[in-house]
Amino acid sequence: MSVVVKLEDVHKSFGLVEVLRGVSFEVSAGEVVAIIGRSGSGKSTALRCINRLEKIQSGSIEVCGRRVEAPDLDLRALRQDVGIVFQSYNLFPHLTVEENIVLAPRRVKNVKGAEAHALARTALEQVGLSDKIDAYPEQLSGGQQQRVAIARSLAMSPKVMLFDEVTSALDPELTGEVLRVMEKLAKGGMTMIMVTHEMGFARRAADRVIYMHTGKVWETGTGAMLGSPQTPELKNFLANEL
């Protein structure tokens, strides 16, 4: 299987604080990887380095054969390959759901009128929100907004999707609808890296789980690893999560 994302000995500091201290992992096409770990362990930072929202100090990151840290990187091409969904949805509040979704396809890929509309329809179908196409973000629940954010990313046909605690801001009743959309995507063959605090979901949906601790990949394995942690740190973390 071809490698879509590959991190090798990645170091990242904010000022004097080293947040990533030699992170390495690989994600193959179609693979679903969950990243778990304590608050501050560097999970979000690792994701943000992958689409270069943050620049790394050393090591290398490769996405679809592209070196992310290269000075001559085509940043916009990278970002078309990598979709990212954030905890805080970040929909554009002045635009309708459809306009949110087609903004990038139209402005970046030059997709026109009817074709753009069809793109929005397809993306909304995938997240089960076809009836909200003309709504504004403020008219939607948190769970619906997050699903629109996922649809917005999908409409750019990314080769890999990053999810950063996309259900953490949601009430428990709304978490399920978003997780179901993600599971559907995973089954459909999307390559996914998701930071999550939902242990049950990680276990169920992920092919592989990465436990990060103090800026390092501490332990990694299949979902079953969560039932039999090897390191005391993971054991401790899991005990606190439950």
Enumerate binding residues for ligand ATP (CB under 6 A): 14, 19, 37, 39-45
Q: Among candidates 140, 139, 100, which has minimal Cα distance to 116?
A: 100
When the beta carbons of 7 and 156 are compared against another protein, the nearer one is 156
Q: What is the smallest separation between the CB atom of 70 and another protein, expressed in angstroms?
A: 17
Enumerate residues 6+ apart whose C-beta is below 8 A from 98: 117, 120, 133, 134
When the beta carbons of 126 and 175 are compared against ligand ATP, the nearer one is 175
Q: Does 149 bind another protein (CB under 8 A)?
A: yes
Q: Does 80 bind another protein (CB under 8 A)?
A: yes
Q: Does 104 bind another protein (CB under 8 A)?
A: yes
Q: Among candidates 159, 129, 147, which has minimal Cα distance to 63?
A: 159
Q: What is the smallest separation between the CB atom of 40 and Mg ion, expressed in angstroms?
A: 8
Q: What is the smallest separation between the CB atom of 43 and ligand ATP, expressed in angstroms?
A: 4
| Paired residues of 8 in beta bridges | 60
User: Which three-class secondary structure state does DSSP give residue 188?
Assistant: coil
What is the pairing mode between strands 160-164 and 58-63? unpaired
Among 41, 44, 153, 191, binds Mg ion (CB under 5 A): 44
Q: Does 169 bind another protein (CB under 8 A)?
A: no
| 136, interface contact from another protein, ligand ATP, Mg ion, none, CB < 5-8 Å by kind | another protein
Q: Does 213 bind another protein (CB under 8 A)?
A: no
In the structure encoding, which two tokens stand for residue 96, read together?
A: 């309708």
Among 29, 95, 199, 238, binds another protein (CB under 8 A): 95
Binding mask 181-210 for another protein (x = CB under 8 A): ------------------------------
Distance between CA atoms of residues 112 and 106, nearest Å: 6
Distance between CA atoms of residues 168 and 237, nearest Å: 17
E strand or H helix at 84: strand 82-85
Neighbours of 139 (CB within 10 A): 12
When the beta carbons of 156 and 161 are compared against ligand ATP, the nearer one is 161
Q: What is the smallest separation between the CB atom of 136 and another protein, expressed in angstroms?
A: 6
Distance between CA atoms of residues 215 and 21, nearest Å: 5
| 143, interface contact from Mg ion, ligand ATP, another protein, none, CB < 5-8 Å by kind | none
Phi, psi angles (nearest 5°) of residue 55 = -95, 140
**What proportions of the chain, in percent to the nearest 5, are helix, strand and coil?**
40, 25, 35
Name the residues that contact another protein, by CB under 8 A: 51, 53, 76-77, 79-80, 82-84, 86, 88, 90-96, 103-104, 107-108, 136, 138-139, 149, 152-153, 156
